Each structure stands twice: as C-alpha cells, then as structure tokens.
Amino acid sequence: MNHADMPWPLLIGGLAVLGCLLASLRLRRQQRLLRDLPTSKAAGVFIGLVELKGTAESPAPLTSFLAETATVHFDWRIEEHWSRMVVETYTDDKGHPQTRLREESGWTTVAQGGESQAFYAKDDTGAVLVRPTGAKLELLPLFDETVERGSALYYAKGPPQAVADSTHRRRFSETGLPLHTPVFIVGQARERDDLVAPEIAASREAAMFLISTRSEERVEAGFAGWSWFWWAAGLLLAGAPLLLVLAAPNNRDQAPVALLAAPPFVYLLLWAVGWVGMAFNSLVGLRNRSRQGWSLIEVQLKRRHDFIPNLVAAVSGLTAHEASTQTALAALRAQAQATAPGVSGPDYGGLAGVLRAVVEKYPQLTAQESFARLHHALIETEQRIALARTYYNDIATHYNTRLEQVPDGWIARLGGMRPDPLLAAADFERAPVTVTFVK
C-alpha cells in the first residue's frame, strides 16, 4: 500500500470513532431526559415538554388496509420475491479469467402506504389531543403473511403486475397503533387553536417527540443498551490497531504499544468530557423545569382567583339566600391567595368540598346555569392546582435526588445548584368554612 493512501483509512476510521462517540452520548442524553421527566396526568398536562401515559382513542378511527383493524395510525407494505441467474467473471488461482453462473434473489417493494390521524391519549383523569405528524413512532405488528400466487390475498390487496423474474411470492406486512392500545408519549404540549386545552404536537423546541407502544422502562432500557453498544463499538475501533499488535507479538517492534494505546485513551477521555457536559446540561434543564413547575402553580392559582368574583356576581341575584351565600363566597375568596413553597397558608383542596356542600344543601342554586358552569370551572381549577403541585413535587424530587447522587452532585457544584423546596400537605393549613343560609 502506498504511504500516500494511509491518511484516508485513518481519516475514515477517525470519523467512524467520532460517530460512535456522538451516537453514544446522544442516546445517553435521551435516556436521562426520560428519567428526569415526571409522568403527567392528562388533566395536568401544561405547556412545555411533557411525558404522558394512556390509551389511544378516537371517535372516528381508521381501518387498516391489511388487517382491517380499528387504528389511529397504520403503515403497510407489499414485497414481491424475485430470483435470476447471472453470469459472473472471476480470476482463478492461475490468473486466468473464468465465468460461472450465480443465482441472485431478493425482495422488491411493489406497493406501500399508510394513514394517520390525530388521536386522544386518555387516562383516568381525562384525555389530551395528540398530533402524531413528525413523531418517532414505535408501532405494533398488525399483519405479516407471505403467500403464493394461488392465494386470494395475492391479487386482492396486491397490484396486478409482477416484477421481473418474479417467483410469484408476495410478503404482506403492516404495523400500526390500534384503538385502545396503551401508549407512552414524550413531546411538546401547546395550546390548541380551537379551544382552551393542551395538545401534544411536533415542535422545534422539543428535545424529543416519541409515541411508543412500549412501556417507559423498556424505552429507557433501549436507549441505555444502544448507548453502551455505540460506546463499545467506538472503543473497539479506536483500539483495533492495539489489539492487532497484541495478538501478533512479532509486530510489536514495528509499532510501539504505547503509541497505539493513545487512540483508545483519547476516546475514553473525550467520552468522559462529553458525558460531564451532557450531565451538566441535563441538570440545568431539570432545574428549569422545576422552576416552570412552580410557575404553573401560580398560573393556576391566579386563574382560580379570577373565578371567585365571577362566581359572586353569578349568585348575587339569588336574593333569598344572598346574605349567607355572600358570606360563604367571601370566605372562599379569602383563601385565594398563593403561598410560597414551604410557607404555611390556606388549603385550596378544602374549597371544593365546601362549595359542593352548599350546592347539595340548597339545590335551587344549581338552577342557575351560570352558577353551575362556574362551579364546575372552579372544581376543575382546583383539580388542576393539585395536579400542578404534584408535577412540581415530582420534578423537584428528581432534581433534588440528582444533586445528592454521585457524580451528578459534584457536577452540580460547578453551577452552584441548590435543592428546591417541596410542597407538602403540612405546609397548608386547612381553613374550614361554615356555610349557614337564612331560611
């Protein structure tokens, strides 16, 4: 081999090692993202990156092409087998050109397609609209069958024309997301255009948009496994010259072992530096999501506070119970002030029960459509506050745990990161409201 040709193999090998390094770190970052994101309930999905578990639902599902199953997404493919004999020229041991026949065979796609629609991810608290366009989809197999030309399926679903050198065998396969299938979703939540509600859709800001039929544990394990695979592949490529020299002792005089040990050492050093940077960025993202979680509580408390005056105005026309009703609502309004983490204050969870007791004791109040609507909105808002608290506590717990772990805790000190306080039930004093109506 000419010495001038040597840089090209080295360059290609170096790029391959670099590609393995980047692939390993990227998969490791995705694994950490899944581990750091708390799973949200459908009713507690807020704007931003969210993780959600539920079932795929649709009021008008699609019917898959091959399996004819009710789905919200499906992809199908039809392949046809071919085989032919080709003349191959080769050189024998004596250097003479020779010819021989060789069989070639394979599969050619003759038809394919699919269809997708927006669907709802539903759990025990509600449903969130999901637009799968642009997502990485991990689907279930719906149909897989290989048939001969005599089968009814051959032409019923496949095209009438055949490929060249066909053996008249066709393979029909289909994958999809059937109705009611459990799904695991990670994506960016945004506000819908048609109504005040969130939806999950593709976004340039999202670090991941995944819709999978696998569980969160299996998805995370998959990222970790492939990360280690690419890490090992890069280390093997970097250390290949050293392994060849160690395997052949006669070559040790031609290439110093210390020099050949440099590439794998540099590879491990670069991977370690890249991992530290990835871990630090992960902690920064986790801290920012914790702060966002607290801001979501404040948003919901402000939304709840704005409903109280409207509720007062709606029931003020009920003169028979005006005085006692206004007293109860004033007590409710007094509890509508937000508190900081770790500071004692009112318990908003007690408001729903008080208002519900008023409605049950005086059913004539429900005749007012506006009262019923605002009552429902207030109850829903209190539920959203509770979900926002849960989300904040979950993400803050993840963040605080990272700060106490090794080596994440050491890395966190580089940025002066401190634990975030949690919201506990004991931090909120229950202020009971007694409602008495004058008959």
Q: At what angle do helices 349-361 and 322-334 cross, to 10 degrees?
A: 170
CATH for 399 = 1.20.1440.20
Question: Residue 97 pLDDT > 90, yes or no?
Answer: no
Q: Greater confidence, 3 or 368? A: 368
Do 296 and 393 lie in one domain? The reply is: yes
Is the domain of 201 the same as that of 308?
Answer: no
CA distances from 122 to 41, 55, 57, 154, 386 (A): 9, 5, 7, 38, 19
Amino acid symbol at 53: K
Q: Is 123 left (phi over 0), alpha (psi -120 to 50) or beta?
A: beta
pLDDT at 132: 96
Longest dimension (CA), the chain: 117
Summarised one tens digit per residue, pLDDT across range 45-55 is 877 888 999 99
Q: What percent of the chain has pLDDT over 70?
A: 72
Helix (H, G, I), strand (E, B) or coil at 21: helix
Place of tokens 């090794």: 406
Query: Is the domain of 51 the same as that of 175?
Result: yes
Residue 414: its pLDDT value, please? 79
Residue 254 falls inside a structural domain: no
Task: Look at residues 21, 1, 11, 13 and name the one whose alpha carbon lies nearest to residue 241.
Answer: 13
Other Cβ atoms less than 10 A from the Cβ of 344: the count is: 10
**Phi and psi for 198 in degrees, rounded to 5?**
-85, 160
Query: Domain check: are 303 and 406 in the same one?
Result: yes
Span 374-389, pLDDT tens digits: 667 677 777 777 777 7
Q: Which range has the worst mean pLDDT, 141-145, 301-305, 365-369, 409-413? A: 365-369
Q: Measure the CA–CA gap between 118 and 130, rounded to whole angstroms.
A: 6
Q: What is the DSSP string of 40-52?
A: EPGGG--SEEEEE
Cα 143 to the center of its chain, rounded Å: 26
Among 207, 237, 267, where does a domain finish?
A: 207
Q: Which amino acid is at 377?
A: A
* Higher per-residue confidence, 14 vs 135: 135
Pick the more confident residue, 409 or 331. Answer: 409
| Same domain assignment for residues 309 and 394 | yes
User: What distances in angstroms separate CA 214 from CA 74, 184, 211, one per listed residue?
Assistant: 16, 7, 9
Residues 175 and 293 in one domain: no
* Residue 3: predicted pLDDT: 46
In this structure, the answer to whether residues 160 and 77 fall within a common structural domain is yes
CA–CA dist 16, 39 (Å, integer): 37
Same domain, yes or no: 384 and 302: yes
Q: Cα dist. 57→34, 123, 270, 300 in Å?
A: 24, 10, 46, 28
CB burial of residue 98 (10 Å; 0-12, 13-18, 19+): exposed
* Average pLDDT rounded to a whole number, residues 229-242: 88
End-to-end alpha carbon distance in the chain:
106
Inform me whether the pLDDT recorded for 171 exceeds 90: yes
Of 188, 207, 226, the residue at which a domain comes to its end is 207
Does residue 20 sit within a domain?
no
Task: Lowest mean pLDDT of 190-199, 239-248, 312-321, 366-375, name the range.
Answer: 312-321
Predicted confidence (pLDDT) per residue in 373-429, tens digit: 666 767 777 777 777 777 777 778 878 888 888 888 888 887 788 888 877 654 444
In terms of average pLDDT, the best of 10-24, 217-231, 338-352 is: 217-231
Domain count, the chain: 2
Question: Is the pLDDT at 84 greater than 70, yes or no?
Answer: yes
State residue 432's pLDDT score: 40
Distance (Å, whole) CA 388 – CA 40:
9
Angle at 290 between CA 215 and CA 31, to 5 degrees: 35
Final residue of a domain: which of 207, 226, 252?
Answer: 207
Distance CA 84, CA 103 (A): 6
Q: Is residue 304 part of a domain?
A: yes
Q: List residues bridging with 208 in a β-sheet.
A: none
Q: Label residue 230 left, alpha or beta by phi (over 0 means left) and psi (-120 to 50 means alpha).
A: alpha
Indicate if 190 and 289 belong to the same structural domain: no
Does the pLDDT at position 103 exceed 80? yes
Q: Look at residue 173 in the predicted model and tell me its pLDDT.
A: 97
Please report which confidence band the pLDDT of residue 339 belongs to, taking 50, 70 and 90 as the band edges.
very low
Higher-scoring residue by pLDDT: 130, 8: 130
Same domain membership, residue 196 and residue 55: yes
Residue 111 lies in a domain: yes
Mean pLDDT, rounded, for 54-58:
97
pLDDT at 292: 75
In this model, does residue 166 exceed pLDDT 80? yes
Q: Which domain holds residue 372?
A: 277-427
Q: Which of 46-50, 164-168, 245-249, 417-421 has the highest mean pLDDT?
A: 164-168
Q: Helix, strand, or coil here: 218?
A: helix
**Does a structural domain hold residue 232?**
no
CA distance readout (Å), 256 to 33, 252, 307: 43, 6, 78
- What is the CA 88 to chain-centroid distance, rounded? 50
Q: Which of 22-36, 146-160, 229-243 has the lowest mean pLDDT?
A: 229-243
Residue 131 binned pLDDT confidence (cut-offs 50, 70, 90): very high
Residues 200 and 327 in one domain: no
Indicate whether 230 belongs to any domain. no
348: how many CB neighbours lie within 10 A of its CB?
Answer: 24
Give the strand pairing for 136-138 and 210-212: parallel
Mean pLDDT of the chain: 80
Give the pLDDT confidence score for residue 399 in this predicted structure.
Answer: 81
pLDDT of residue 433: 37
Q: How far apart are CA 307 and CA 333, in angstroms?
A: 9
Backbone angles phi, psi at 67, to 5 degrees: -80, -15
Q: Is the pLDDT of residue 73 over 80?
A: yes
Q: What is the pLDDT of residue 167?
A: 94
pLDDT digits (tens, 9 = 90+) for 256-304: 666 677 888 889 999 999 998 888 888 888 888 778 777 777 777 776 6
pLDDT tens by residue, 185-223: 999 988 888 877 889 999 988 889 999 999 999 999 999
pLDDT-derived band at 123 (thresholds 50, 70, 90) equals: very high
Position 358 scores a pLDDT of 60
**Same-domain check for residues 76 and 192:** yes
Span 140-151, mean pLDDT? 95
Question: Quick check: is 439 in a domain?
Answer: no
Strand partners, 55: 122, 182
In a domain, 143, yes or no: yes
